Amino acid sequence: MSITSDLVTAARTLNKAVDALSFSPPTTHVYNPLSYAWEPHRQYLETYGGAPKKVVLLGMNPGPWGMAQTGVPFGEIPAVRDWMGIEAPVEKPSNEHPKRPIEGFACAKSEVSGRRLWGLFAERFGPAEAFFKDHFVLNYCPLVFMEESARNRTPDKIPASEMEAVNTACDRHLAECLRILQPEWALGVGGFAEGCILRVLKAEGLTDSIKTGRILHPSPASPAANRGWAEQATRQMEALGVW
């Protein structure tokens, strides 16, 4: 088995596990882009996941105008289509919210977190191939949670009783991806993701073999991120010794 095929198999396993879960109000709509946006996600894994990485960066879960549309973590459409060279048909989720339509690569909205994240990497490394030579980006949870109003609910807002099965599947997937990619560093994009990394490394007995840390999440909901996120994230990467 190759690294690429192992990553694809791991993603298929995660897709199947989370697709079987159900959630109670106020969560009314759940999108799983590993299912309806599988083709671009598979392209992402196959194009850029084919070798061990020095650094794995982990996000929390898809944004409504990013991975929810493109199947790629932090998947701002111009970054995915024009920088990474990835584009494929995207289907519709089974329970689509009218205020959060899935339009795939035709979506005209911008995912600010993805624009910031991939924009920094493009500015620093140039071509996507140069960034992905030593880096890879994953999301911890592949699901998008919404309320009846279409308000987004992040995983840290879902009741612990409902997240238990999600965490079991996502922890297993993260552990498998770290085994496959063999990174020197596993970095959380934000505190939630860092906590997931630390939990998985402890459970797997890998705390001494993979270095950890975090960078500021680029979400516009974070006041700190709106004050020069790229510069702050760069300083954090340099302070850790990653860059």
Each residue of 9-54: pLDDT tens digit? Answer: 999 999 999 999 999 999 999 999 999 999 999 999 999 999 999 9
Q: Look up the pTM and report it.
A: 0.96
**Would you state the pLDDT for residue 135?**
98
**Would you state the pLDDT for residue 28?**
96
CATH code for the domain of 212: 3.40.470.10
Q: Quick one: average pLDDT of 93-107?
A: 95
Instruction: Kindly tell me if the per-residue pLDDT of 1 is higher than 90.
Output: no
In this structure, the strands spanning 135-139 and 55-59 are: parallel
The residue that leads in pLDDT, 206 or 215, is: 215
**Would you state the pLDDT for residue 172?**
98
Nearest to 69 by CA among 98, 48, 47, 91: 91
- In the block, tokens 């898809």 appear at 62
Segments forming the whole domain that contains residue 217:
3-240
Measured CA to CA, the distance from residue 117 to residue 210 in angstroms comes to 23
Report the percentage of the chain scoring pLDDT > 70. Answer: 100
Instruction: Kindly tell me if the per-residue pLDDT of 68 is higher than 80.
Output: yes
Measured CA to CA, the distance from residue 76 to residue 8 in angstroms comes to 21
Domain total of the chain: 1
Quick: pLDDT tens for 125-183.
999 999 999 999 999 999 999 999 999 999 989 999 999 999 999 999 999 999 999 99
Q: What is the overall mean pLDDT for the chain? A: 96
Measured CA to CA, the distance from residue 123 to residue 133 in angstroms comes to 15
